[in-house]
Each structure stands twice: as structure tokens, then as C-alpha cells.
Amino acid sequence: MSGPMGTLDHAAVDELGAAFALGALEPDELRAVIEHLESCPEPHAELRSFLGASDVLAASLEPVAPSTGLRDRLMGTIATTPQERTRAATPVASVAAPAREQRRGGLLDWFPPNLARGLAVAAVVVAVAFGIWNVSLQGQVSQRDQALRAVAQAIASGQTAFRVSGTGGSGYVIADKNGTASFVGANLAPLKANQIYELWLIGSDNKPVAVGTLAPSDAVAVVPLERGITGFAVFAVTAESHRVDAPTSQPVMTANLGS
Amino acid sequence: MTDPTPHDDALAQRIRSGDREALGVLYDRYASLALAAALRVVADREVAEDLVHDAFVAVWRKIDKFDPERGSLRSWLLTVVRNRAIDRVRGSRQTIEVGEADAQSLLRSGPNPTWEAAVQRLEVADLRGAIEALPGEQRQAIELAYFAGHTYREIATITGVPQGTANGRLRLALNKLRDTLASSTAAPLGAPEPLPVRETDR
């Protein structure tokens, strides 16, 4: 595992998953792992399972009270510190190295490529099926149009849409031929304070698998599912106080995936 | 009327709108934890407080980049603190900076449920107990990686084992820790009764 990193295959990335989650990779390895994940359609389940481990390690520390003056110092600093305003809508993430960022551009490039396709397809479905646009996105019509044009042919070539409906709202699960999917929700019902929607896939064993969360604040929500839908029969959405391992309430939206 | 105990996501929205009081609430909520994390790495209180100060300023400046669907504000803040602390002690070490978003979000649309549940449901002593229950070499690897900011290659050198062994210990440790925490936080919860509505549009 020594020496400069080139490209990494799935197995190598999985082997480095724990070190990745703990921030214990060398810079070249970190870049190589990110490069791989940006374009990899595989779930990398073990690596994913490590994400968040650092939160536990931090929480295992006994809190240490700061000096009394630190808060005043901080408040004094931010009183004269402007906030950075980078864009109207919050992107998923961009973690590429600067050189890579320079050669990328446009809405789709804010997302890892494997997610960009699904997100953009989902956006098209929202626009067509619901006939609405998120007001906050209207200022980015040109970028969105560029994104939509880029994926229009992909839709025509065969994406599957499963209708999602229930008391919580409506939407679609969009899946490509590999089962990679996104949930597109609209008209979502307001939730109680501090609640979120949690997304589930349910197979023949009737055991729900958590595949994402979303806040009900957006007029149009687009959430890439953390797992492919292949082998699952039902998609469901529940309202939860926080992300949980198993649902604590009955679904507010469901869809039959036909598996 | 202002919510006396706003959720972190609500705080993030208020901070994004330029509400300095909201950042103060965030500070009151997490400064002591952030200081503990920084102090563990740099072992110097004055330096650690500077790092905490700078991390909160970074949150204030860059809150527009925070995406609550990719992780919690708490986790984001602590990542910033730790990265800055490691940068301080390692000098040339390159970490993921707050402005470059969250590399972990490549794979998740929210925190992993097991880790998140552990943070929310378990006491500090329980979390520490789970870590201390790891085999010695695995616990050492975790501490050298997370708290001392060493890469697995450096850990291999420090502990005198092959790099693959050092990396493997991290992997074994997190797997074991995750399993331990999953059993500690498991709660009987009802499964949903889905209402199948098939409507395949294509």
C-alpha cells in the first residue's frame, strides 16, 4: 500500500474504508479513494458502514468547558466577519481537487457522476409529472436546462419510474437498469418540529432497510437512495424524529417496486 | 417567539440567514465537546481554544455549504475542529477542509444509523466503554488515527507492523465497535405495513 496512488479498484477502496472514515489516509490515497467513489456505481457497503464512526469517537470524550472569554471573543469576531454566499441552492458536495474542479462545470458537476444522472433524471420527472419548479431553483434555469438536456436522452432510453403516494405526499422512485435509484418527492406534508422523512426499501423478508432521509422543507426533494432497488419489493417513507435503524411509525408514502 | 431549544437544522437555517445569536446557541451547545476534541489532539489548551474559535468562525462563514441531508451540524463542526487540530500538529498534513464539503457525502445521504444512534442514545461512559472493550492493538490503532491524527502508514511505523496490518486493525476495530454499538442501541421497533400502490409509468 505504499507509493503514489493511481486508480484504485473496488477491493482496494473497501480495504481503505476504515482509514478513510477516520481521516487516516495519506493525501494521495485520499484523492484516489475520492476519485474512485465519484465514479463508482457500487454501494461500497462496508466503507459506508464506517462513515460516522468519527462522531462516536468525538462523543466519547469528556466535554471540557472553554474559558469564559472565548464566547465573547467569538461573537466579536463574527460581528465583523461576512458570510460567504456561493450559490442559491445547496449542492450535495464537491470534493474534487482544485485541478479537477476547474475542468468541471455546471449543475451536474456539483454531484458525483453516479448521482448526477439520477438527480437530473429525477428533476426532469418532477418538472414533467408535477408541472412545478422549486422557486429557489428558478434562478438557475440555464444551468438546469443544461442539465436536463444532458439527461433527456437517458430518460428516453429507458428509466423506470415507480409512483409513490400516500398521506405524506407523492413522488416517484426513478431507477436505471442497474437498480440505482433516486426518490423524487413533491407536495410533502409538513411534519412536526424536528421530524424528518426517512426512506426505506423492503424485500421479501419484510425487513426495512434505511436508504436515506430528507427534510420536508423543499417544495421538490430529490434524494439518491443509498442502495439499489434490485431485489426489493416495496419503497416506503416514514416520519421519524431522527434517522433510525427500523421504522417507528407506519409509512406515510409507499410504492410497489414490482420485484 | 424564539424556540429555546432549536434543533440543529433550525440553527443552521438561522445562521445561514445571518443570525449571530444562533451561532451563540450552537457554541453553547457544542463548544465544550469541540474543545475536548481539539485538546485531545493538540494537548495545549490555548491552542485548542484558538482552534475552536476558528472552527466556529468557519461555520459562520461557510454555513452556505452545509447540507443537513449529508450529515449533522454537530458532525460538521467536529470534523472542522479535528481537521484543523491535526493540521496544526502535523504541519504539512492535508485534510479535507470545510470549504471543500464533506468527502463522506459521496456515499451517504445521512449519517450511518448505528453511529448516529449511539451518539444520541448512549452516555459518554458507554461510548468510552465500547472503545475500551476493543482488543488492545485495535484500540491503539483507533486512538493513533483519530485522536493523534496519524495515517495508517504512520501507525504501521509507530507500532512496528506492516502497513496492511495497521490498516487491517482499523478495519477490524470499526467493524467490532459498530457491532457492539448496534447491540447496545438496538430497540424493538415496529415494521411498517406498506400499502402497495403499483403504478409503473414506464
- Cα B145 to Cα B94: distance, rounded to the nearest angstrom: 14
CATH number at residue B79: 1.10.1740.10
Q: If you compute the radius of gyration of chain B from its CA atoms, what whole number of angstroms results?
A: 19
pLDDT digits (tens, 9 = 90+) for A11-60: 888 899 999 888 888 888 888 888 888 777 777 888 888 888 888 898 89
Domain match, B13 and B56 both: yes
For chain A, the domain total comes to 2
How many domains does chain B fold into? 2
How many angstroms separate the CA atoms of A59 and B74, rounded?
10
Does a structural domain hold residue B194? no
Collect all residues with Cβ–Cβ distance below 8 Å to B160 and sequence separation of at least 6: none
Interatomic CA distance for residues A185 and A191, integer angstroms: 14
B142/B70 same-domain check:
no
B189: closest CA of chain A, how far (Å):
6
Same domain as A132, residue A50: no
| DSSP per position, B166-199 | HHHHHHHHHHHHHHHHHHHH----PPP-------
Three-class DSSP category at B53:
helix
The pLDDT score that the predictor gives to residue A91 is 31
Residues B94 and B118 in one domain: no
**What residues make up the domain containing B141?**
112-185
Q: Are A128 and A245 within one domain?
A: yes
ipTM of the complex: 0.80
Residue A85 lies in a domain: no
**Do B197 and A246 lie within an 8 Å CB cutoff?**
no
Tell me which chain A residues have a C-beta less than 8 angstroms from the C-beta of B194.
Answer: 202, 234, 236, 251, 254
CB spacing of B171 vs A91 below 8 angstroms: no
Same domain, B9 and B31: yes
B30 and chain A: CB distance < 8 Å anywhere?
A: no
Do B57 and B26 belong to one domain? Answer: yes
How do strand A181-186 and strand A169-175 relate by DSSP bridges? antiparallel
DSSP lists the bridge partners of residue A238 as A198
Inside any domain, residue A92 = no
User: Confidence class of residue A111 from pLDDT cuts 50, 70 and 90?
Assistant: very low
Residue B187 confidence (pLDDT): 45
Contacts A–B by Cβ distance under 8 A:
335
**pLDDT of residue A115 exceeding 70:** no
Q: Is the dihedral of CA A26, A29, A35, A39 positive or negative?
A: negative
Q: Are residues B120 and B80 in the same domain?
A: no
| Distance, C-alpha A99 to centroid of its chain | 24
Both B97 and B3 in one domain: the answer is yes
SS3 B11: helix
- Pairing relationship of beta strands A196-202 and A234-240 according to DSSP bridges: antiparallel
Is the residue at A89 inside a domain? no
A52 and A114 fall within a common domain: no
pLDDT value at position B143? 92
Residues of B in contact with A126 (CB under 8 A): none
| B106: Cα separation from own chain's centroid | 16
Q: Which residue type does A27 have?
A: P
**What is the predicted pLDDT for the residue at A159?**
66
CATH number at residue B130: 1.10.10.10
pLDDT in tens, A212-253: 888 766 555 677 788 888 888 888 988 888 888 888 888 888
Residues in chain B where the model's pLDDT stays below 70: 1-4, 69-70, 91-112, 186-202
Please give the residue range of the domain that contains residue A125.
107-256
